[in-house]
Amino acid sequence: MVLAQASGQPRGDHGLFLRYRIEAVTLRGINSFRQNKYDMATVGKTLEGMFRKLNNLLERLHQSYFFYLLPSLSRFVSIGIYMPAFGLLLLVLILRISLCFTGPGADGDAGFSGDGFGLNQGDLGWVAEFPRPPVLICHAAGVALYYLPVLGQHVATQHFPVSEAEAVVLTLIAIYVAGMALPHSTHR
């Protein structure tokens, strides 16, 4: 513990607060059999101070114009970074819906029956023409992209002499190489 303090690198959660000029301390309880124990008033004052520091950080983030995600203890991701990805996901749905209503065989009534609430029987023909294998492969690739980085990192650190950072990079390279091979294996 003394070597960690001598290095000058903060090892606790208080290291994040120092960047924002918020004085903080990391409190960690250790089971001790010594006679000099701290009373509840001292621990309570320390905890109250910690909650005040968290409130100060919350106020600094609240006064900003962006929403933040906290992917790790050392950085924030603003809404300007992660919202374009959500927009592109929604764009796929919007394009598919517009194709269903304006594609071949669509007439002026946009696929609705006379009362405006139900679909005609013939309007669901696109479901039979829906390309099932590519959709299933895309969903399987999505599940793989969701689970493989964590599982790959775990397997790589257990079975190969690599660090965690190298395991993440190698896992992502393996996923990208498998993704490049995907179009060649799905042709009809």
**Domain boundary assignment for the chain:** 2-63, 80-128, 131-188
What pLDDT, in 10s, does the model give residues 132-187?
Answer: 777 787 788 788 778 877 787 788 778 888 887 787 787 778 878 877 877 666 65
Rounded Cα–Cα distance for residues 111 and 113 (Å): 7
pTM of the full predicted structure? Answer: 0.27
- pLDDT category at 112 given cuts 50, 70, 90 is very low
